[in-house]
Amino acid sequence: DAGITQSPRHKVTETGTPVTLRCHQTENHRYMYWYRQDPGHGLRLIHYSYGVKDTDKGEVSDGYSVSRSKTEDFLLTLESATSSQTSVYFCAILGRSNTGELFFGEGSRLTVL
Amino acid sequence: GESVGLHLPTLSVQEGDNSIINCAYSNSASDYFIWYKQESGKGPQFIIDIRSNMDKRQGQRVTVLLNKTVKHLSLQIAATQPGDSAVYFCAESGNSGGSNYKLTFGKGTLLTVNP
């Protein structure tokens, strides 16, 4: 258990509303990631962070922003949700070993009506 | 087998048989590969990894084979059990430990184990 908590675990919202998903970790890991998972696409990287206030885009970053104001929290924001952003969102952290293994949270299911 | 760009393939095996799940990757610069298992409703979990300077690595009931010549990765599960039923993803990285470290995932293979 890498001490990762995602919230909310489930959310239903309407098109055009803002949504923020939170990833919280308790073990002071430097690297944190947000992925989305959709049928037929597997896991795709949205944004990642390599330190406080250090973030970078992944392959599907359009329509998303992130913030990392402290080590333990990595926030994913949809400024104006669209139906195409209906998905399961996974947060991950990079373990301390030099293997490069990612540890994933349990996921946040977002439905945009 | 699994490859980026294809729909989720499926593999159905009998309990006790060996399973082989395949993955093709496209980035010849990738130097680190991981297999993940994802059970329904849960996040992916690490199974086994391998670096590009190796061609085989064994774990408990699992073996990963890497063929860099044809950019192919496989996961072998011995004596498959019903608890092995899940979606399996391969992932690759070209910069292990670097400042922009990130994994690229394949689309996954659904393994179903029949009792």
Q: Is the pLDDT assigned to residue B1 strictly greater than 90? A: no
Chain A hits for B101, Cβ within 8 Å: 31, 50, 94, 100
Range of the domain at B31: 2-95+107-114
Nearest CA in chain A to B43: A106
The structural domain count of chain B equals 1
The structural domain count of chain A equals 1
Chain B hits for A66, Cβ within 8 Å: none
Q: How far apart are CA A100 and CA B71, in angstroms?
A: 20
CATH of the domain at A97: 2.60.40.10
Pairwise pLDDT comparison (B8 vs A58), residue with the higher score: A58
Q: Does A2 touch chain B (CB under 8 A)?
A: no
**Predicted confidence (pLDDT) per residue in B65-86, tens digit:** 999 999 999 999 999 999 999 9
pLDDT tens track, chain A, 113 positions: 568 999 999 999 999 999 999 999 998 999 999 999 998 788 999 999 999 999 999 999 999 999 999 999 999 999 999 999 999 999 999 987 666 789 999 999 999 99
Q: What is the pLDDT of residue A9?
A: 97
**CA A36 → CA A98, B95, B112, distances in Å?**
25, 21, 24
Chain B hits for A31, Cβ within 8 Å: 101
Q: What is the pLDDT of residue B101?
A: 78
CATH of the domain at B13: 2.60.40.10
Q: Is the pLDDT assigned to residue B5 strictly greater than 50? A: no
Range of the domain at A86: 4-112
Sequence-distant (6+) residues with CB within 8 A of B53 are: none
Where do the DSSP E strands lie in chain B? 2-3, 10-14, 19-24, 32-38, 45-51, 56-58, 62-67, 72-77, 86-93, 104-105, 109-114
- Residue A18, preceding peptide bond in cis (omega within 30° of 0): no
Is residue B100 situated within a structural domain?
Answer: no
Q: What is the pLDDT of residue B35?
A: 95
**CA A13 → CA A76, A78, B61, distances in Å?**
15, 11, 43
Is residue B39 situated within a structural domain?
Answer: yes
**CA A46 → CA A61, A64, B29, B96, distances in Å?**
5, 8, 22, 19
